[in-house]
Amino acid sequence: MTLKKQSILVAGGGSTFTPGIIMMLLENLEIFPIRQIKFYDNDEERQKQIADAVEIVLKERAPEIEFLATTDPETAFTDIDFVMAHIRVGKYAMREQDEKIPLKYGVIGQETCGPGGISYGMRSIGGVLELIDYMEQYSPNAWMLNYSNPAAIVAEATRKLRPNSKIINICDMPVGIEHRMAEILGLKSRKEMTVRYYGLNHFGWWTDIRDKDGNDLMPAIKKHVAEHGYVTPGELEGTPGEDIEPSWMHTYGKAKETFALDPNTLPNTYLKYYLFPQDEAEKANPEYTRANEVMDHREKQVFSECNRIANIKTAEDAKLVTDDHASYIVDLARAIAYNTRERMLLIVPNNGAIANFDPTAMVEIPCIVGSNGPEMINQGEIPRFQKGLMEQQVAVEKLVVEAWEEESYQKLWQALTVSKIVPNARVARQILDDLIVANKGYWPELK
């Protein structure tokens, strides 16, 4: 049977990840055929630089695919099967503020965790809801695959404020870590592993990892993580496969310390911000944070390469590389389009899947995905250590969404205070007052 060809909208066409996603889609056309790709962004000039290069790539490599880039919602969202959403409301300039303002008070500033993530959440909620509303107006049968951050807060907002919308929130961090686990084990692909996992986004644990024959792979991975974290054997030998930035190497190494807290499970790397916040704050340079690193490296590389391609009008020697990890997006789209019943980790309403946890929480757990969307796989009861941490963190995420909806200063102050990363309510208030000034025009006006 021939597969129906899909029409894709990339929302956040100007993202640094867009060229990698396009290259990844092109590599997967046989299993996920495409008739049309559109880009949508609210920054015309930024998007145009990426779009001009992608247009040349598509003309040379897949001329049958129709392509257009627009800032007009109706043109963008009409006749679409999947919206792949990766917007960053406020762009890197605001990410820099999210990271640097908390550091003024000795508190770690991070894209998705703690005060930085809360600040970004207050900007993202409105942006993502707007995309959903356009999608429902112009292509009511479409699905949105959202990886715009902070995914945990965005997911809670969509659960609460757009409960019937066809949106699935997903993260690539577990995929990236599983890729490393497969390397540690010497497996060809992470897909040889079947995992059990539970948590919130950027806040979870693997509890069981098996190969296709049911052999338990956890002991071998744990042995490695106890010594080296998720730094791979190749990296330890000094032959890294990819060009990994120092901040990420630190993160993979730090997983060793996080693992020590509960050797029954394997942790997500982001837990380091919650379990060792002072270490991270001390290590940070308040003048030069991850946003600066990304602006100096990824953003410069991607835009200069796109501009080069547009100038020479050919992509024959393009240095736009496929983002391997991003193929999870095709797995998800294929699962919905062709009912493949793929097993994947998604951010979904708990509804009892974690038996002893808030049924209204958005949790990250394995699901079977088919044309009707995800079916959650029960993870049973979780231990008190994880439950305690998750209850505190889910309260933060819910308070942020309530604060956004009710335009409530009080609730946002409470959210910051509950965050494990913020030392006390006074510091929470100082950070909040600075964030309000920095986010003028992006956040609702708080009462």
**Pairing status of strand 66-70 against strand 194-200:** unpaired
Residue 376 Cβ, how far from ligand G6P at the closest point, in Å?
Answer: 21
Active site residue 270: yes
Q: Where are the beta strands (DSSP E) in 360-399?
A: 362-370, 373-376
Q: Where are the beta strands (DSSP E) in 86-222?
A: 143-146, 167-169, 194-200, 203-210
- Of the pair 198, 270, the CB lying nearest ligand G6P is at 270
| Binds ligand G6P (CB under 6 A): choice among 122, 171, 193, 382 | 171
> Phi and psi dihedrals of 183, rounded to 5?
-65, -40
- Give yes or no for residue 97 binding ligand NAD (CB under 6 A): no
The count of residues interacting with ligand G6P (CB under 6 A) is: 8
Cis preceding-peptide flag for 233 (omega within 30 of 0): no
Binding string to Mn ion for residues 169 to 208, with x set by CB under 5 A, is what? --x-x-----------------------------------
- Give yes or no for residue 172 binding ligand NAD (CB under 6 A): yes
> Phi and psi dihedrals of 439, rounded to 5?
-95, 15
- Give yes or no for residue 149 binding ligand G6P (CB under 6 A): yes
In the region spanning residues 115 to 174, those forming contacts with Mn ion, defined by CB under 5 A, are 171, 173
Angstrom CA distances, 276 to 112, 123, 340, stand at 16, 26, 40
422: amino acid identity, one letter: V
- Give yes or no for residue 17 binding ligand NAD (CB under 6 A): yes
72 and 47 in contact (C-beta within 8 Å)? no
In the region spanning residues 33 to 92, those forming contacts with ligand NAD, defined by CB under 6 A, are 41-43, 46-47, 86-89, 91-92
> Phi and psi dihedrals of 83, rounded to 5?
-100, 120
- Give yes or no for residue 9 binding Mn ion (CB under 5 A): no
Residue 441 Cβ, how far from ligand G6P at the closest point, in Å?
Answer: 23
Residue 346 Cβ, how far from ligand G6P at the closest point, in Å?
Answer: 13
Q: Is 151 helix (H, G, I), strand (E, B) or coil?
A: helix
Using the Cα atoms of residue 62, residue 64, residue 68 and residue 73 in order, give the sign of their dihedral: negative
Query: How far is it, in rounded angstroms, from Cα 416 to Cα 266?
Result: 27
- State the distance between the two ends of the chain, measured CA to CA, in whole angstroms: 58
98 and 119 in contact (C-beta within 8 Å)? yes
Query: How far is it, in rounded angstroms, from Cα 120 to Cα 150?
Result: 7
- Give yes or no for residue 172 binding ligand G6P (CB under 6 A): yes
What are 384's two structure tokens? 């008190």
- Of the pair 81, 364, the CB lying nearest ligand G6P is at 364
- In the list Mn ion, ligand G6P, ligand NAD, none, the entry touching 290 (Cβ below 5 to 8 angstroms by class) is ligand G6P
CA angle, residues 221, 222, 223, in degrees to nearest 5: 90
**Of residues 270, 273, 274, 328, which has the active-site annotation?**
270
- Give yes or no for residue 290 binding ligand NAD (CB under 6 A): no
DSSP 79: T
Active site residue 40: no
CA 61 to mean position of chain CA atoms: 28
Binding string to ligand NAD for residues 126 to 165, with x set by CB under 6 A, is what? -x-------------------xxx-x--------------
- In the list ligand NAD, ligand G6P, Mn ion, none, the entry touching 42 (Cβ below 5 to 8 angstroms by class) is ligand NAD
Cis preceding-peptide flag for 150 (omega within 30 of 0): yes
Residue 267 Cβ, how far from ligand NAD at the closest point, in Å?
Answer: 17
- Of the pair 128, 354, the CB lying nearest ligand NAD is at 128
Binding string to ligand G6P for residues 46 to 85, with x set by CB under 6 A, is what? ----------------------------------------
DSSP 376: E
Q: Which residues bind ligand NAD (CB under 6 A)?
A: 11-12, 14-17, 41-43, 46-47, 86-89, 91-92, 127, 147-149, 151, 171-173
Q: Which residues bind Mn ion (CB under 5 A)?
A: 171, 173
Mind telling me the catalytic residues?
Answer: 172, 270
Q: Which residues bind ligand G6P (CB under 6 A)?
A: 111-112, 149, 171-173, 290, 294
